[in-house]
Amino acid sequence: MNWKRTLSVALLAAVIAGPASAQDKQQLAFVVNAASDFWKLAEAGVKKAQEELPNYELQFRYPAQGTAALQNSLMDDLVAAGTDAIMISSADPKNSIDAFNRIAAQIPLFTTDSDAPDSNRIAYLGSSNTDAGKQAGEIAVKALPDGGKCMGFVGFLGADNAVERIAGFKEAVEGSGIELVDVRGDDVDFARARSNVDDVLAANPDITCMVGFYSYNPPKIYEALQAAGKLGQITVIAFDEDPITLGAVREGSFAGTVVQDPYQWGYQGMHLMAKYLEGDKSEIPEDGLIIVPTKVIDKSNVDAFEAELKERIGG
């Protein structure tokens, strides 16, 4: 009878200890600004980090829609559910300060992709969007030696990443004869993103250059130009690594694209938050900015870059 009693005690201990150990795992969340294929690489980075952080539970979360209100509601839900730290790409940082500060008063809050520097977030990990904008401008200067009129397309006109990319682009083309006439926003509505390009093609025949500032904008530019029979007639400068964008760079329809490294945002971001929760704040710089460099992809390096992407997502 003793072995039965011993087994019962062991089973009871396992039942008690099992859930407790699961609950003891601290939870880290990566919250994006909207549903987009762009975020697959960041999700792959979080997945890789999970393999190396077995004592943490990592989450990758999309808001129901790309609005600040739904993002902030999602963060409230995560905190209520016991999440210990959050990293977020802000859809509308200027109108989210109070919400961000409310979260930051409860748990460590970090930003990525689109910063909210006026909030109490601990640090930003991501691209220098100003530098990325300058790189895009440099592509334009090289592709348009005689100057030209450009139209830009972006998701959130007020988001820091958009504002900084546009400013960087303008700085790089200053004095080159290239003018960024206007930038059309679409609030991450893909149908509107396409119609914005169609409208420009119909109403602005003097436009010789288009800049897609968010990952899905260049593919929509490609679709519209292809439908209008104008591929190759209008110079296109892109951002990010959508497969359509990379294909267009390869075939010469796009002058080039400026790519970020969202894989590292997810991977490094999870490790950064884990260390912070463990009391290690050595990786937080005084200015709160951890910059992951961007780079230009053109016909000369697009094949090697695409092979690297496939390995990361496949891995």
User: Of the candidates 306, 308, 291, 259, which has an alpha carbon nearest to the alpha carbon of residue 125?
Assistant: 291
* Rounded distance between C-alpha atoms, residue 264 and residue 271, angstroms: 10
- How would DSSP label each residue in 180-192? EEEEEE-TT-HHH
How would you list the strands of the sheet with 124-126, edge to edge? 56-61, 26-31, 85-88, 109-112, 124-126, 289-291
Q: Which residues of the chain have pLDDT under 50?
A: 1-21
Number of Cβ atoms within 10 Å of the Cβ of 53: 18
Under DSSP, is residue 118 helix (H, G, I), strand (E, B) or coil? coil
* Rounded distance between C-alpha atoms, residue 124 and residue 284, angstroms: 9
Helices first, then strands: H and E counts in the chain? 11, 12
> Which residues touch 264 (CB under 8 Å, ≥6 apart)?
45, 292
Residue-level pLDDT at 195: 98
Residue-level pLDDT at 229: 96
Residue-level pLDDT at 66: 79
Number of Cβ atoms within 10 Å of the Cβ of 184: 17
Q: Do 262 and 125 form a contact (C-beta atoms < 8 A)?
A: no
* Rounded distance between C-alpha atoms, residue 73 and residue 88, angstroms: 13
* Rounded distance between C-alpha atoms, residue 150 and residue 171, angstroms: 14
Provide the sign of the torsion angle of the four alpha carbons 279, 282, 283, 285, taken in this order. Answer: positive
* Rounded distance between C-alpha atoms, residue 265 and residue 272, angstroms: 10
* Rounded distance between C-alpha atoms, residue 302 and residue 212, angstroms: 18
What's the length of the chain?
A: 315
Number of Cβ atoms within 10 Å of the Cβ of 69: 14
Residue-level pLDDT at 159: 85
Q: Rounded to the nearest 5 degrees, what angle is found at the Cα of 245, between the Cα atoms of 243 and 249?
A: 115
Q: Rounded to the nearest 5 degrees, what angle is found at the Cα of 89, between the Cα atoms of 294 and 104?
A: 125
Q: Do 136 and 108 form a contact (C-beta atoms < 8 A)?
A: no
- How would DSSP label each residue in 258-304? EE--HHHHHHHHHHHHHHHHTT--TT--TT-EEEPPPEEE-TTTHHH
Residue-level pLDDT at 20: 40
Tokens encoding 192: 């509107």
